[in-house]
Amino acid sequence: MVRVTVEPHAEPSPHGLLIREAGFTSLVEIFDGSMAGRISRLRVTDADGGWFGTEADALMHGFSAGQRIVDDSLRGTA
């Protein structure tokens, strides 16, 4: 099972005390399906190591990364 959540990242506004969202990262957790629980946990950022611009981008890229890890492990290449 692959579980993907999104973490917002905020930074102070340059014109005051307001906090604005600067971007998002994905938190990807992979479970083996048994009672043993989580077998892998990683944070996913964009190709340059920065934050994703939208929650949807973070979710899609996180799920794709998790699915590739599962597929590779089932093929025995991970």
The residue among 65 and 18 whose pLDDT is bigger is: 65
For residue 32, pLDDT beyond 70: yes
pLDDT of residue 66: 92
Alpha-carbon distance of 29 to 27, in angstroms, equals 7
The residue among 26 and 11 whose pLDDT is bigger is: 26
Quickly state the pLDDT bin for 53 (edges 50, 70, 90): very high
* Structure-token match 């990262």, residue found: 25
Residue 19 to residues 29, 50, 67, Cα–Cα distance (Å) = 28, 19, 33
pLDDT of residue 21: 74
The residue among 13 and 78 whose pLDDT is bigger is: 13
pLDDT of residue 56: 96
Element (H, E) at 75: helix 55-75
Query: DSSP characters for 16-53?
Result: SS-EEEEEEEEEEEEE-SSTT-EEEEEEE--TTS--BS
